[in-house]
Amino acid sequence: MASLRQILALVLLGAVLAACGFQPLYKAPSGAKQAASVQRMATIDIPPIPDRSGQILRNELRDQLLPRGRAAQALYRLDVSLKETQADLAILQDATSTYSRYTADIKWVLTDLATDAPVLRGENRRITSFPIAESEFASLEAEKNARERALSQLAEDVRLRLGLFFERGS
C-alpha cells in the first residue's frame, strides 16, 4: 500500500511541475538546435580585459558564453572591468600569515552594437581563500588556484544573468 502511495505522489508531483511552466534555461525547444539564450550569447563580443587575471576571466567568459564559437557577426559587446584585492588572515605572533583571502570584483555592461546603448549592467564579487605554506611554490600554486576558482565562478554568474536576460526576450 505504501508503494502505491509513493507512486501516486510521484505522478502528482510530475503533473504539478509540468503545469507550473518550468523549463530549463539552456534546453532547446523541440525542433531547435539550440536554446534562444545560447544562440544570442554566441553573438557577444568580449574585448580584452587588462592583466593576467583579466585574460583568465575573458577566457572563462568565452568558454562559458560561446562554447560553439562566436557568431559571424557580433550584435552585443560585453565590457568587463576587474578589481582584485588580497588580504592576509590568521596572522601569528611572529607577524607571519598562514591564510590569505582573495577578492575579485567585476563590473560589466552588455551593449547593443546596433544602438551603442547599454542593455544590461551588473556587478559581481567572489571571495576565495587559500593557505600560505612554508613552501613558496605551494603558496603560489594555492593563490593561483584561488584566483582561477573565483574568476571561473564570476564567469558563471555573468553567464546565468545573460541567459536569463536573453531567455526573457531582452
User: For the chain, how many structural domains are there in total?
Assistant: 1
User: What's the pTM?
Assistant: 0.74
* Domain-located, residue 2: no
* Domain-located, residue 10: no
Query: Which CATH number is 141's domain given?
Result: 3.30.160.150
Which DSSP helix (H) or strand (E) runs through 85?
strand 76-91
* Domain-located, residue 13: no
Determine the structural domain holding residue 93 and report its residue range: 27-167
* Domain-located, residue 144: yes
Q: Residue 76: CB partners within 8 Å, gap ≥ 6?
A: 40, 43, 44, 45, 110, 111, 112, 113, 119
Q: For every one of its 170 residues, what pLDDT tens digit does the chain have, with 9 covering 90 and above?
A: 557 777 877 777 766 665 555 455 445 444 444 566 777 888 899 999 999 999 999 999 999 988 777 767 888 999 999 999 988 776 666 656 677 889 999 999 999 999 999 999 999 999 998 888 888 888 889 889 999 999 999 999 999 999 888 887 75
* DSSP string of 91-158, one letter each residue: E-TTS-EEEEEEEEEEEEEEEETTTTEEEEEEEEEEEEEEE--SSHHHHHHHHHHHHHHHHHHHHHHH
* Domain-located, residue 69: yes
pLDDT at 128 (0 to 100): 92
* Domain-located, residue 15: no
* Domain-located, residue 5: no
* Domain-located, residue 103: yes
